Structure 1
Amino acid sequence: MRPLIAVVGRRAASVSGIRFSGTIAAEAVCEAVFAAGGEPLVLHGGARHALSELPRRLSAFAGVLLPGGSDVNPARYGQDPHPKTSPDDDGQDELDLAVARAVIELGIPALAICRGMQVLNIACGGTLTQHLADNPVEHLDALHEVTVEPGARLASVVGTSTFKVSSYHHQAIDRLGRDLRVVARSADGCVEAMEHATADVLAVQWHPEDLAATSRHDGALFSDLIDRARNRKEAAA
């Protein structure tokens, strides 16, 4: 049996073929989870009472994936919005932050991607740089290199060589949240990956789903999530 992986759904005002709003997940993310051996299921946010039930709901899953998306409202980390910041759904912010906190509390294996990594940092009390200044490393819709810190758990998954990643973000980690450790950076010093000191969470700023089928480094991130999820499932059996 494939371990069940909760992919946190993104709320969309309209979806082709659906008369009203929808809760969706990127096909590339789901395909990467499936190709690695997991069964991706979209986690619905729903009404506010559903958030209070998140720990119980998430306990049914062997793993969680916090995907990319739009900007988090900077009020969530005590800042006024930058002119380039575009938060668009407070309900999405509430769901993602609640999932991040539940994952830490319950110890569920998780992979956080792009916005997901930023949400994790905010959930742990950190802040964001709301708009990256122009520099030789392009982060928005570009490929660039990252370097992993030797000795980090991430290094055991992807190795310590410098490799190229697919990047699509204009915000980045500023003040690091509690119990988080930076384990990869790009050449301009931007935080590209983090690990949690006690929870089973790995977070990357790039989009590994973009190249998962062709990059061993990106594919390994999804395989690692499934391995951790399978171990949790077997331990609970």
Structure 2
Amino acid sequence: MRPRIAVIGRRAVSVSGLRFSGTIAAEAMGDAVFGAGGEPLILHGGPRGRLAELPGRLAGFDGVLLPGGADLGPARYGREPHPMTRPDHDEQDALDLAAARAVIALGVPALAVCRGMQVLNTVCGGTLLQHLDEDGPVPHVDAPHEVSVEPGSRLASVVGHRAFTVSSYHHQAVDRLGDALRVVAWASDSCVEAVEHTGADVLAVQWHPEDLFGTSRQDAALFGDLIERAAARRAATREEHPV
């Protein structure tokens, strides 16, 4: 049976075929999880005021994927908005932050992508750089660029220690690093490209591995690693609570 991966849903005002708003996930993300051997399941945030139930809901999954999305509201990390910041819906922020906190507390295996990494940094007490210079030496918005990986890191054990090209789509980045996080990859302009939690089972990348899942060995390995960790959790849970 495939490990069940909770993909935290994105709120959408309009969805084709629906009369009202919807909770969705990028097809590429679902394809990558499924292609790596997992069962992607979109997690609906639930009615307003029910986030206290989220840890119990996530505990029933084998792994969690914290996906990309729009900008996190800067008030969430104690900053005034930059003119180029485009915050998401406040309820989306609340859901994503609660999911990241639950993942850390529960020890559920997780992969955080783009905004997901920024959310992780925020719940760990870090801050974000709200806008990267578009004329900088590395193109971060809708462009490929190389990342370097920290030798000996957990990330290096998954993707290898050599630099490789990633698909990038972000204009914000980690500024002050959150507690219990370790930088394990960066771009040539020193932009933080990946972090790992030193206590929880969480790996986070700033780029979009789902974009090149089918052609990039490293990106495919990230999803494969999530499924392996989720499968191990599933097996351990069954041993502790046999049917």
Q: Which amino acid aligns with 1:106?
A: L
Provide the residue aligned with 1:210 in structure 2: 211
Return the alpha-carbon distance in structure 2 between the equivalents of residues 44 and 2 of structure 1: 20
Deviation track 1:138-188 (CA, whole Å, cap 9, x = no partner) reads: 000000000000010000000000100000000000000000000000000
> For 1:47 and 1:121, how far apart are their aligned partners in 2?
26
2:241 corresponds in structure 1 to none
Which position in structure 1 is the counterpart of 2:173?
Answer: 172
CA distance in 1 between counterparts of 2:18 and 2:237 reads: 38
The 4+ residue runs of structure 1 with deviation greater than 6 A are none
Give structure 2 stretches of 5+ with no counterpart: 239-243
- The Cα shift of 1:47 comes to 1.4
For residues 27 and 206 of structure 1, what CA distance do their matches in structure 2 show?
17
In 2, Cα distance between equivalents of 1:97 and 1:231:
25
Map of 1:3 onto structure 2: 3
- Look up the SS of the partner of 1:165 in the other structure: strand
Secondary structure of the equivalent of 1:140?
coil
Aligned amino acid, residue 158 of structure 2: V
Q: In the TM superposition, what are the counterparts of 1:86-97 in structure 2 within 5 Å? A: 86-97=86-97
Deviates more, 1:156-165 or 1:43-52: 43-52
SS in 1 for 2:142: strand
CA RMSD, Structure 1 to Structure 2 (Å): 0.6
Once the two structures are superposed, residues 109-155 of structure 1 have per-residue CA deviations (whole angstroms, 9 ceiling, x without a partner) of 00000000000000101000000123110000000000000010000
Unpaired runs of 5+ residues, structure 1, are none
Number of corresponding residues? 237
1:53-92 to 2 correspondence within 5 Å? Answer: 53-92=53-92
TM-score between both structures, scaled by the size of structure 2 = 0.97
The 3-state SS of whatever aligns with 1:31 is helix
**Cα offset, 1:88, TM superposition:** 2.7
The Cα offsets for residues 173-230 of structure 1, whole Å up to 9 and x where unpaired, read as 0000000000000000000000001000000000000000110000000000000000
The amino acid of 1:150's aligned partner reads P
Determine what percentage of the aligned residue pairs are the same residue: 72
Matched, 1:160 2:161: yes
1:18-167 alignment to 2 at 5 Å?
A: 18-133=18-133, 134-167=135-168
Q: How much has 1:49 moved relative to structure 2?
A: 3.6
Offset at 1:50? Answer: 2.7
Distance in 1 (CA, whole Å) between partners of 2:76 and 2:59 is 26
